[in-house]
A and B are shown apart, each in its own frame.
Chain A
Amino acid sequence: MLTYLLRRLLLMIPTLLGITILVFTVMAMSPGGISAQTLIGGTDMKPQEKQALLNYYNKRYGLDKPAPVQYLRWLNNVSPIGFTIDEQGNRGEFSFSKGMDLGTSFQYGRPVSDILAERIPITLLLNLVTIPFTYLIAIFVGMKSAANRGGSFDVGMGMSMLALWSIPTMLAGVLLLGFFGNVQHFQWFPTAGISSREAQDMPFLPHWEQTGFVRGFLLDRVWHLILPVICLSYGSFAALAKLTRTSILENLNSDYARTARAKGLAEHDVLWRHVFRNSLLPLITISAGLLPSLLAGSLIVENIFSINGMGQLAVEAVKGRDRELVLSITWVSGFLTLIGYLIADFCYTLADPRVSYD
């Protein structure tokens, strides 16, 4: 098992390298490189000042060097092992102990690692709420449709799921906001952010006070997350539900199900004790594949509901030509996905005795 894990981790390295190379080349080829970025906000600087700033950056990031050199330099900074580099930018000796340095974001003027440390948890939170939610709904629907296959529920649900899938996210988001966050219609949910100002100084759990019910930090969070999560999830119902349905039907017709019936098990038990677990196996593998799309999907949702997650960051970074940031975002999200796959496979081994990695 351990060797398997190691192997998987080793395999990640070329992938991650590839990702960074890809993105780096794209950025290197693009107009409005870093140099432009450095000038943002510098609009009311003296030319000399701007020039100075440029030189500063050039020295710091070796922007005057050819792209491959820049890349290697960046890579060296990022990788946990490599050459130490001093302020003047000339190379020290090789070390295994030098930490990872994701560099500094130009437009935020802060270490990229800090920024990611702020943003990733938020996006992860969104996704970790969304995925289970999606699965619950999808599995439920999938099972019911399988149960009365060809029935009205099956057909109807199949259709409406497809329909949901086809709604553009931004439209859905804005409509939801317009109707359920608006005093003119139903002001049930907040319009922005993932927690309200008051929640900052609320206790964690909901409880009663003499003033009345206090929703507490937790409920406040949930309350804020509802609309975004709906927006994120409705799109992926269709595929999952469909998958559940087919695999359940498949397993219901399988030989072992028949064996179970031959034992005298009631249909209900056959479904729950035998078929169900087998049917969910394919869903496990899918779950990881959901992650990247969610990461990106949150991009729109985050914008609409003013949530500062990776999605937002990505847009800002890309528009701001913030090289360090874009690079890190892409490879980090790539890394997350790979980890996701790994975890999924791991769960698979737990769920299915047949596969065992050594």
Chain B
Amino acid sequence: QIDRQWLKLTEMETAMSEQSKDMRELRVAVASGAVSNKPTTNSTEANGDVAQAFKRALAASRLPDYAQGDWSVDSFSTNIKTITPLVSSDLYASNVQSNVLESLITRNPDTLEWEGLIAKSWKISDDGLVISFQMRDDVSFSDGQPLTAEDVVFSFDFIMTEAIQAPRERAYLEKIKAVKANGKYEVVFTFKEPYFEALSLAGGMSILPKHFYASYVKEPQKFNQSKGLLLGSGPYKLTDPKNWTPDKGNIELVRNERYWGDVPPSFNRILWKVIQNDSARLTTYRNGDIDSYSARPVEYQELKKDEQLIAKSQNFEYMPPTVGYSYIGWNQERAGKPTRFADKRVRQAMTYLTDVSRIIKDVQLNYAEPAVSPFSNTSKQHNGSLQPYPFNLAKAKALLTEVGYEDRNGDGVLEDKSGKPFEFKLTYFQANEDTKRMVLLLKDLYARAGVRMIPFPQEWPVMLENLGKKDFDAITLAWTSGIETDLYQIFHSSQAISNGDNYISYKNPELDKLIEQARRTVDESKRMPLWQSAERILYEDQPYTFMMRRKSLLFVDKRIHNLQMTKLGLNLGSLPLENYVPVAQQKYTQ
């Protein structure tokens, strides 16, 4: 009770101080006579000079029933540990951060092309090693401080500070040699070597305000252990950028009144509730206390029949281009010795046995599409002529006998020449029901060929350790993929070291060459063919049995308007914000 009061006090204080600061700045400005009465950007007369990025938002705001106000309320299924950028590792946190932090550039949902957000424009040197961004001069952080090149430089340096616990980002940005500020509003990225994703690397980096984070360079531990240090230039902000703690349960962002953007965001607040229990979450959605609910296939089917639910919601089934693919990885080397899966034919046989279409039908209820390779069927990296392996028992058996497997002691299980029965453990992550179902199905399928598979559920940490040690027979997991997928980390033989992501120890020199080459080529038209030939090798080798990409199945409250499909998937909550709630349906005042 007391501390709650106290918290509110501090919040008020910060607000006051900020206002006073503004006043001061204003006075200064007036004094210097430099104050141009540039209209504060709002949708009406910002027609002409609206930045590309805001076009869609603007369009939305032109809709007849468009209105500002109301909240967007969503749910997390586990409690967030921290929302401090860099320190946080989970999706939810980055979800929150995306509303607060901004980067230089962003992808256009329609064209998937990059376009400026904070950057007005950019130039890439011919060798592709240098990228320089021209930044907008009217951008300020939510506390009123202007956003300059200095902040961008700082963000990079900050990430690169060893003491800061940001190994992931560091690993990611290591290709960048230096970031320099060139004047107040120009920043230059220099790369060590040509890299095909250079632009997204540089432009995608979220910009941290120097004045806010700089102090933590000295006391990194404080930063590493912080829970709620979040301040940025984005459309939303924490009421108190320093003191959010997990025990609050909810995460709540309020509209950034100083937002520089051409179109102010519609919602007054964005609220995330933590609801662990599934049925509780559904009930909460039914009660209208959260705005969206994403369902598992079986569930989705059920719910579509449920009129109470349908009456209040719009449902979407879509396949985001960045969706990951699920696979079975066949471990080829264990304790230094090649396993039975080291033999290409065995892997192919297993793929033939893995009746993906059946899985999609029975387990995913057709809310998924078969995966041929790491590349999404829509991406340019993918070669359309490749077709997924069909289910073919005969062929599989043939392959296996060819390798020398046959049932030698009549117990129904195949044995190899040394009489060792063909049985293996399939490791999977226990928490996911669908995976469990799939594994059970596979068990029966493999049994038909006399292969004995033993389901082996594990908790996440244990699984990771086994991956690190490469201590497993076969494993089913999923990789997320980007618009354009890099094969290096997963399939390049150099990554087959311990703790590497090529934990199935798949080595193919030919593929290695292709990957390296592709990564070096910046020119897309040259790069894609390389990817495609790499894909063909994977298809032939089947280091993984590529299974499928799952659709997202989503129910959204009718309140939320202007939901559209884009190339990036559903535009729910995508920034700059395009969804809104008409006045009539608005639920939360304040």
Query: Is there any pair of Cβ atoms, one from A and one from B, under 8 angstroms apart in the complex?
Result: yes
Q: Which one of B4, B82, B287 contacts A183 once the chains associate, using CB atoms below 8 Å?
A: B287
| Docked-complex contact B287 and A187, CB < 8 angstroms | yes
User: Are A204 and B81 in contact, CB atoms less than 8 angstroms apart?
Assistant: no
Complex CA–CA separation, A32 to B495 (angstroms): 22
Which chain B residues numbered 408 to 448 have a C-beta less than 8 Å away from chain A?
none
CB distance from A188 to the nearest CB of B (A): 11
Q: Determine if B284 is an interface residue (Cβ-Cβ < 8 Å).
A: yes
| Residues 217-238 of chain A, each 1 if its beta carbon lies under 8 Å from chain B, else 0 | 1000000000000000000000
- Bound-state CA distance A200–B284 (Å) is 19
Sample of 7 further A-B pairs with CB below 8 A, known A45-B171, A184-B286:
A32-B465, A39-B464, A41-B168, A44-B171, A191-B280, A191-B287, A320-B460
Question: Which residues of chain B (218-265) have a CB below 8 Å from chain A?
Answer: 224-225, 227, 245-247, 249-250, 252
Q: B499 near A109 (CB under 8 angstroms)?
A: no
9 closest Cβ pairs, A-B complex: A41-B89, A36-B465, A32-B462, A118-B247, A36-B461, A47-B500, A50-B499, A46-B171, A49-B167
Within the complex, what minimum Cβ distance (angstroms) separates B326 from chain A? 15
B87 lies within 8 A of A109 (CB):
yes
Residues on A with C-beta less than 8 A from B247 are: 118-119, 122, 308
**A residues within 8 A CB of B283?**
177-178, 181-183, 191
Chain B nearest CB from A60 CB (Å) reads: 12
For residue B279, which residues in chain A have a CB less than 8 angstroms away from its CB?
174, 177-178
Interface contact B280-A184, CB-CB below 8 Å? no
When each residue 182-194 of chain A gets 1 if its CB lies under 8 Å from chain B and 0 otherwise, what string results? Answer: 1110010001110
CB neighbours (8 Å) of B46 from chain A are none
Contact B249 A304 (CB under 8 A): no
- Whether the pair A177, B465 counts as a contact (CB closer than 8 A) is no
Answer whether residue B8 sits at the interface, using C-beta atoms and an 8 A cutoff: yes
| CA A32 to CA B284, docked complex, whole Å | 36
Question: Contact residues of B with A, CB < 8 Å?
Answer: 1, 4, 8, 79, 81-82, 87, 89-90, 165, 167-168, 170-171, 224-225, 227, 245-247, 249-250, 252, 271, 273-277, 279-281, 283-284, 286-289, 308, 459-466, 468, 489, 495, 497-501
Q: Does B167 lie within 8 Å of A52, measured CB to CB?
A: yes
Q: How far apart are the CA atoms of A184 and B252 in the complex, in Å?
A: 28
CA distance A192 to B165 in the complex (A): 33
A217 to B7, CA, bound (A): 15
What is the CA–CA distance of A320 and B167 in the complex, to the nearest angstrom?
20
Contact between chains at B168 and A107 (CB < 8 Å)? no
B85 CB → nearest A CB, Å: 14
How many Å from the CB of B460 to the closest CB on chain A?
Answer: 6
Chain A 4-36, CB-CB to B under 8 Å as 1, else 0, gives: 000000000000000000000000000111011
Q: Which residues of B contact A217 (CB under 8 A)?
A: 1, 4
Residues of chain A contacted by B4 (CB below 8 angstroms):
200, 217
Given A191-B275, A191-B284, the answer on whether A32 and B1 have CB atoms closer than 8 Å is: no
CA distance A196 to B491 in the complex (A): 48
- Give the contacting residue for B225; candidates A110, A118, A305; CB below 8 A: A110
Q: Which residues between 201 and 217 of chain A lie within 8 Å of chain B, taking CB atoms?
A: 201, 204, 217
Q: Which residue of chain B is the closest to A121 with respect to CB atoms?
A: B247
15 A-B pairs (CB sep. < 8 Å): A31-B462, A31-B465, A39-B464, A42-B89, A44-B489, A47-B495, A53-B167, A109-B224, A174-B277, A182-B283, A192-B280, A197-B271, A304-B277, A306-B276, A306-B277
Q: CB of A94 within 8 A of chain B?
A: no
Per-position binary interface string of chain A over residues 97-124, scored 1 when its CB falls under 8 Å from any chain B CB and 0 otherwise: 0000000100111110000001100100
The verdict on A356 contacting chain B, using a C-beta distance below 8 Å, is: no
Partner of A109, one of B1, B81, B489: B81
In the complex, A90→B224 CA distance in Å? Answer: 23
- Whether A118 contacts B277 by the Cβ 8 Å rule is no
Residues of chain A within 8 A of B89, CB atoms compared: 40-42
